[in-house]
Structure 1
């Protein structure tokens, strides 16, 4: 018996998502988003966890956003408990793109402070998108515990997340500016500068923060 054309296309797409060629996987992800089908969701989510190519991962996320949140969100929430860092990171990234606030309870402090920088950065971005009104101060408090963490990109990601919370972040930044760790003080000062002046470049804000911290340290020593 001949398989209906629709089923044939579905099977072709599913096979393509697992193909050895990145261009084939990219086309399959595009097809899955162009003609959404609940049968794609499990394979799309699973592929996100292992896909090595950034542009293919981006297309996988786009394809998932084209499916109903009632189908995608539960599958993505399951990935947040995965031992694979990429699975957690990509699930968080996709949840931030879907923007369904029912996912908010799953953005736990453990994810916001994940040891893997990519997971933590994805969690920060998802959190500021999904946070319910009134819960910004609590989120700001958790994010502030990560000030001074990592390299430039990680610090910039955290600053952007904190700034997205608006005035709710001001108290925690002021508190962090008295932290014993100069990295925390400097990062907090740079973030506060960017909050006041969004047009200031991050590098400029960091350099100014270093001067502020240095002056503060000199004052303490004296």
Structure 2
């Protein structure tokens, strides 16, 4: 992007996107989204990779969704391959908000199993939004291979993603209940309960599942 080709107002907004004050950056992102201009897409993506404030990042994503898919989508898809974890995570979050199925091929196994929990969580959320109907079983299997991973928030995110896929996840969950790792078994049982009883809280579901596993049960109805 060549700043000298932009009008003074555009140059000012670009500078404000990098201001030290988060309130100024937020206002600038809102301005870009209110009056979309394809020349800003590159800067919005660049800021997503480094912006420290959650609310500003979310406004940057909103601004990207306000631009034509033909302009924003290819640029965001490229960003999921960034070496910077925040760039990958925010790009995936943006893909889930754009919601265009053309982005599905960008959701790779590498992203679904990314070593960074925030990237993986964003990939799970994006995957369940973008997955074609015929790919849901394969995605369920891929997500089930992450069962038992991380702390409560990471596990909750994975359970929510799996439940979003619906009954197609049941074979993968059944297989996971026989896994050698008790964390995997408990997480699978808790996710199954959330699928059957959506009003159940994750905390109670996981604690009950851990008790079942500790007692040597599978929790599966015969």
- Pairwise same-fold verdict (TM > 0.5): yes
Q: CA deviation at 1:210?
A: 1.0
SS in 1 for 2:198: coil
Can you list the C-alpha shifts for 1:158-205, whole angstroms capped at 9, x where unaligned? 000000010110000000000010000000000000000000010110
Matches of 2:174 and 2:217, distance apart in 1: 16
SS in 2 for 1:216: coil
Q: In the alignment, is residue 209 of structure 1 matched against residue 182 of structure 2?
A: no
What's the Cα RMSD here? Answer: 1.2
Given the two structures, how large is their TM-score scaled by the length of structure 2?
Answer: 0.94
Question: Which residue of structure 1 aligns with residue 124 of structure 2?
Answer: 124
Question: Which residue of structure 1 aligns with residue 155 of structure 2?
Answer: 155
Task: Give the direction of change, closer, same or farther, for the CA distance of 1:199–1:217 in structure 2 (3 Å limit).
Answer: closer
Given the two structures, how large is their TM-score scaled by the length of structure 1?
Answer: 0.94
Question: Which residue of structure 1 aligns with residue 28 of structure 2?
Answer: 28
Matches of 1:180 and 1:217, distance apart in 2: 13
Can you list the C-alpha shifts for 1:99-125, whole angstroms capped at 9, x where unaligned? 011000010000000000000000000
SS in 1 for 2:179: coil
SS in 2 for 1:165: helix
SS in 2 for 1:50: coil
| Unaligned 5+ runs, structure 1 | 1-5
Number of residue pairs aligned between Structure 1 and Structure 2? 213
Question: Which residue of structure 1 aligns with residue 3 of structure 2?
Answer: none
Question: Which residue of structure 2 aligns with residue 182 of structure 1?
Answer: 182
Matches of 2:199 and 2:76, distance apart in 1: 35
Matches of 1:18 and 1:39, distance apart in 2: 16
Matches of 1:76 and 1:116, distance apart in 2: 19
1:89-100 matches, cutoff 5 A = 89-100=89-100
Q: In the alignment, is residue 38 of structure 1 matched against residue 38 of structure 2?
A: yes
1:163-202 matches, cutoff 5 A = 163-202=163-202
1:1-20 matches, cutoff 5 A = 7-20=7-20
Question: Which residue of structure 1 aligns with residue 135 of structure 2?
Answer: 135
Q: CA deviation at 1:15?
A: 1.3
